[in-house]
């Protein structure tokens, strides 16, 4: 803040105002600050986990961590998903407008699922997450938004129910999974022939040095106390981390049987991969 002694006034520069006060805009960092607070809340557990090298289930984070994650990611999805990301995928937008069966896996509080259901009212969105409190929160949000074409279920990504999906997506969650290859394999089997999988992951380069800038450092820090332990706590425990990068993600997707991986879009925080 700037303090003007003469006028006795505090003020924020436009840049500071954007970061601290513009709730709902992608550059507003309040969701991230809330995420930091969530880590101090359970600081001792985080230190113990780090020293042991063992996992820490997603469910053992503090409640505020789940809200913060949603608050951090939602503005980016609201600004880009319908306007930019879906149109950047080959042949997907027209299917969603006509009425498609969509799977949103690792949906958390359901912001992406609700945005899809609202934008494509003829489509049905089946949203899955293994964290029951998040699914309960997502159901509340859908009810408050009056959205009827979305259904939330508690289930693992490696075994969610349903077949013949036209479109599957994962938003910032594949790297949190213990068995991302298993999850991607299950997605491949659940898609209709010709279906598309959209993988949204944190933007990252392929080497650690590519990621040593403020956004990469934010991701590495959060990955150290949240994402990597969450993956290590699950079966397989691959521990991709929040800065896996396209090359490593492509290896995972190829291992799951997908042969086509193309970067369809990116923002300063996310990359969007078209996978078939």
Ligand X SMILES: C[S@@+](CC[C@H](N)C(=O)[O-])C[C@H]1O[C@@H](n2cnc3c(N)ncnc32)[C@H](O)[C@@H]1O
Is residue 222 at the binding interface for ligand X, with CB under 6 A as the rule?
Answer: no
Rank residues 7 and 30 by Cβ distance to ligand X and give the closer one.
30
Per DSSP bridges, beta strands 2-4 and 9-11 are antiparallel
Is residue 130 at the binding interface for ligand X, with CB under 6 A as the rule?
Answer: yes
Query: Cβ of residue 171: shortest distance to ligand X, in angstroms?
Result: 4
DSSP H helices in the chain = 14-21, 30-41, 43-52, 63-80, 92-98, 111-119, 132-145, 180-190, 214-222, 228-232, 246-255
Question: Of 34-42, 67-75, 91-99, 139-147, which segment contacts ligand X by CB under 6 A?
Answer: 67-75
Is residue 165 at the binding interface for ligand X, with CB under 6 A as the rule?
Answer: no
Is residue 134 at the binding interface for ligand X, with CB under 6 A as the rule?
Answer: yes
Binders in 81-120 for ligand X, by CB under 6 A: 106-108, 111-112
Is residue 234 at the binding interface for ligand X, with CB under 6 A as the rule?
Answer: yes
Q: Which of 65, 115, 157, 273 binds ligand X (CB under 6 A)?
A: 157
Give 63's contacts (C-beta < 8 A, 6+ positions apart).
Answer: 133
User: Which tokens belong to 106?
Assistant: 């690792």
The number of C-alpha atoms within 13 Å of 79 and in the hemisphere containing its C-beta is: 16
Name the residue number minimizing CB distance to ligand X: 108
Report residue 7 CA to chain centroid gap: 45
Rank residues 38 and 134 by Cβ distance to ligand X and give the closer one.
134
């Amino acid at each position: 803040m700037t303090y003007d002694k003469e006028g006795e006034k505090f003020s924020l520069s436009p840049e500071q105002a954007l970061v601290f006060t513009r709730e709902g805009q992608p550059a507003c960092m309040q969701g991230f600050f809330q995420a930091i607070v969530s880590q101090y809340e359970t600081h001792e557990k985080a230190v113990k986990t780090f020293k042991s090298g063992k996992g820490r289930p997603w469910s053992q984070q503090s409640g505020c961590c789940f809200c913060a994650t949603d608050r951090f990611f939602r503005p980016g999805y609201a600004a880009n998903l319908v306007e930019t990301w879906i149109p950047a995928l080959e042949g997907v937008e027209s299917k969603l407008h006509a009425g498609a069966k969509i799977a949103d896996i690792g949906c958390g509080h359901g912001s992406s699922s609700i945005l899809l259901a609202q934008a494509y009212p003829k489509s049905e969105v089946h949203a899955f997450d293994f964290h029951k409190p998040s699914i309960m929160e997502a159901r509340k949000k859908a009810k408050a938004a009056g959205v009827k074409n979305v259904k939330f279920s508690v289930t693992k990504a490696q075994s969610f129910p349903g077949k013949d999906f036209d479109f599957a997506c994962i938003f910032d969650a594949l790297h949190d999974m213990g068995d991302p290859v298993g999850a991607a394999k299950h997605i491949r089997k659940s898609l209709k022939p010709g279906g598309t999988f959209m993988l949204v992951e944190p933007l990252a380069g392929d080497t650690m040095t590519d990621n040593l800038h403020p956004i990469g450092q934010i991701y590495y820090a959060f990955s150290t106390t949240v994402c990597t332990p969450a993956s290590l706590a699950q079966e397989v425990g691959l521990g991709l981390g929040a800065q896996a990068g396209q090359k490593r993600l492509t290896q995972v997707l190829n291992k799951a049987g997908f042969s086509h991986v193309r970067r369809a879009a990116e923002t300063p925080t996310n990359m969007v991969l078209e996978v078939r």
